[in-house]
Structure 1
Amino acid sequence: MSSAPVPADMIALRLILVSGKTQEFLFPPGASAADIARHVHDRWPPDWEEERVSSASILRLIYQGRFLHGNVTLGALKLPPGRTAVMHLVARETLPEPNSQGQRNREKTGESHCCVIL
């Protein structure tokens, strides 16, 4: 883990691979998930070599259990500069369907679907 303080105008991202390996990178608050994926892909850590992927476009970030779309910035996630945030980094061709959002919308409208098996 890094012992150096995080610059006040940057956000340290501790990225965790599925294998459990971690690495920290520094980014400005305006960096998007796609920018981060490109940066990490272009500067792939030597101890992550076994997990190397062919393209930055399949790297996905997961923050607080949700996949981030490529245009989401660290600032939009309200991550404070000068601090460290933790995210998971996975290789995945496409983002999953946002079904949790649909569930919330159904709850708001009062619509429900129920099934009883006798």
Structure 2
Amino acid sequence: MLLYFGEAKAPPPPTLLRSTNQSNHAHRSARTTNIFIINLRLILVSGKTKEFLFSPSDSAGDIAQHVFDNWPDDWCQEAVSKAEILRLIYQGRFLHSNVTLGALGLPFGKTTVMHLVPRETLPEPNSQDQRQKSKGGNSSCCSASCCIL
């Protein structure tokens, strides 16, 4: 819970969050004064974008479900069959469905850009050894064996 002017304020409930389009401009203007709002600009593979308002307590899974339930009309060609295949990419990394916006440390009241892609499963993370080998490095301290006499 965050403190603001000595008074405890809770983030807005996710059910009040809406897509920021022309029809709810008044709703958006009223909501942007709240310091606990995170504005997400979601970009599809096609390059189409849309902005949505979310709470720091909303997870990537909550966001995917909200976007699926409120799929923008101008995204009709990119529509998916279920929310579970929508994945968010932030700073080049896929977000797991339980990661919250607050955990990412996103700034309140500012726009953050993420990609939204349809994908059944997340890619497996590379281990440290695999990354070292792919860079041509060696995971041990030296390539020759040492012997103490």
TM-score (norm 1): 0.83
- Alpha-carbon distance, 1:9 to partner: 1.3
- Alpha-carbon distance, 1:103 to partner: 2.7
Residue 102 of structure 2 corresponds to residue 75 of structure 1:
yes
1:111 match: 139
TM-score (norm 2): 0.66
RMSD: 2.3
Residue 10 of structure 2 corresponds to residue 10 of structure 1:
no
For the 8 Å contact 2:129–2:139, the answer to whether it is kept is no
**Secondary structure of the structure 2 residue equivalent to 1:76:** helix
**Larger radius of gyration between Structure 1 and Structure 2:** 2
Residue 91 of structure 2 corresponds to residue 64 of structure 1:
yes
- Alpha-carbon distance, 1:104 to partner: 6.9
**Higher relative contact order at CA 8 Å, sep ≥6: structure 1 or structure 2?**
1
| Percent of aligned pairs with the same amino acid | 66
The count of aligned residue pairs is 108
Gapped runs of 5+ residues in structure 1? 113-118
Runs of 4+ aligned residues of structure 1 deviating over 3 Å after TM superposition are 1-7, 104-107
Q: Show CA shifts across 1:51-109 (max 9, x none).
A: 0000000000000000000000000000011111000000000000111xx137876xx
Alpha carbons of 1:36 and 1:104: their partners in 2 closer, same or farther (altered >3 Å)? farther
2-structure distance, mates of 1:51, 1:79: 27
For the 8 Å contact 2:37–2:108, the answer to whether it is kept is yes
1:31 match: 58
Match of 1:79, as an amino acid? L
